[in-house]
Chains A and B, each alone.
Chain A
Amino acid sequence: MIELVSASRCIECNICVRVCPTNVFDVVADAAPTIARQSDCQTCFLCEAYCPADALFVAADAHRHVEVSEQQLAADGILGSYRRSLGWSPGGDPAALHETAHVLRRMAGPGTIG
Chain B
Amino acid sequence: MHSDALDLDTDVLVIGGGPAGTWAAWAAAKRGADVILVDKGYCGSSGATAPSGTGVWMVPPVKDDREKAKAQREALGGYLSDHDWMDRVLDRTWRNMDLVESWGYPFPREDGAALRRGLQGPEYMKLMRKVVNRAGVEILDHSPALELLVDRDGAVAGARGVQRQADRPWTIRAGAVVIATGGCAFLSKALGCNNNTGDGYLFAAEAGGELSGMEFSSQFAVSTAFGSVTKTAHYSWAVFTNEAGEDLNAVKDGHYSASTIGRALLSGPVYAQLSKARERPEVQAFLRYAQPNFFLPLDRSGINPFTQRFPVTLTLEGTVRGTGGIRIADGSCASTVPGLYAAGDAATRELICGAFTGGGSHNAAWAMSSGSWAGEGAAEHALELGAGSNARHVSGAGGAGYHDSWASASASDPGADAVIAGVQDEMLPLDKNLFRTELGLRSSLGKLDALWESLRTAHGASARDQQRSRESAALVATARWAYTSALERRETRGMHRRADFPALDPQQQHYQIVSGLERVRLRNEKHAPSIETRVSAAVR
Contacts and interface: CB of A to CB of B under 8 A. Distances in A.
B501 interface: no
A86 B224 CA distance: 22
A96 B286 contact: no
Interface string A43-87: 111100110000000011111000000000000001001100110
A99 B233 CA distance: 14
Interface in B46-70: 46-47, 50-51, 53-55
A62 B231 CA distance: 15
B164 interface: yes
Contacts of B72: 111
B289 A108 contact: no
Contacts of B300: 59-60, 78
B193 interface: yes
Given A99-B118, A103-B286, A112-B254, A44 B233 contact: no
A44 to B, nearest CB: 4
B287 A102 contact: no
Given A18-B141, A78-B300, A44 B45 contact: yes
Interface in A91-112: 94-105, 107-109, 111-112
A22 B123 contact: no
A62 B226 contact: yes
Interface string B136-156: 000001100000000000000
A42 interface: yes
Contact of A19 (B45, B108, B296, B360): B45
A85 B255 CA distance: 27
A46 B292 contact: no
Which residue among A20, A59, A94, A100 has the maximum number of chain B CB atoms within 10 Å of its CB? A100
Contacts of B55: 101, 114
B236 interface: yes
B44 to A, nearest CB: 7
Interface string B486-504: 0000000000000000000
Given A86-B123, A114-B359, A20 B42 contact: yes
B195 A21 contact: yes
A108 B237 contact: yes
B508 interface: no
A85 B42 contact: no
B158 to A, nearest CB: 24
A12 interface: no
Interface in B107-121: 107-110, 115, 117-120
A97 B106 contact: yes
Contacts of A94: 106, 123
Contacts of A29: none
B164 A113 contact: no
Interface string B339-350: 000000000000
B291 interface: yes
Given A21-B41, A101-B290, A113 B232 contact: yes
Contact of A82 (B123, B165, B292): B292
Chain B, interface size: which category?
Answer: 35 or more
Contacts of B518: none
Given A49-B122, A60-B226, A102-B117, A42 B189 contact: yes
Interface in B209-260: 224, 226-228, 231-233, 236-237, 253-255
Given A22-B194, A45-B51, A46-B122, A114 B296 contact: no
A34 interface: no
B296 A45 contact: yes
Contacts of B117: 101-102, 105
Contacts of A98: 108, 289
A109 to B, nearest CB: 5
Interface string B20-54: 00000000000000000000111011110011011
B192 A42 contact: yes
A105 B54 CA distance: 13
Contact of A86 (B122, B141, B228): B122
Contacts of B110: 102
B286 A100 contact: yes
Interface string A19-34: 1111100000000000
Given A23-B164, A96-B105, A114-B231, A109 B253 contact: yes
Contacts of B118: 99, 101-102, 114
B386 to A, nearest CB: 36
A24 to B, nearest CB: 10
B389 interface: no
Contact of B44 (A19, A42, A104, A112): A19
A2 B236 CA distance: 30
A99 B110 CA distance: 11
Interface string B270-297: 0000000000000100110111110011
B406 to A, nearest CB: 20
Contacts of B390: none
A112 B233 contact: yes
B293 A45 contact: yes
B133 to A, nearest CB: 14
B45 A114 contact: no
Given A43-B189, A108-B254, A112-B236, A50 B45 contact: yes
22 contacts: A21-B47, A22-B41, A23-B164, A42-B194, A43-B227, A60-B296, A62-B227, A82-B296, A86-B123, A94-B106, A95-B120, A96-B105, A96-B123, A97-B107, A99-B53, A101-B290, A102-B110, A103-B286, A108-B254, A109-B254, A112-B233, A114-B359
Given A46-B45, A62-B226, A114-B53, 7 more contacts: A23-B164, A42-B228, A43-B227, A50-B45, A94-B123, A96-B105, A103-B286
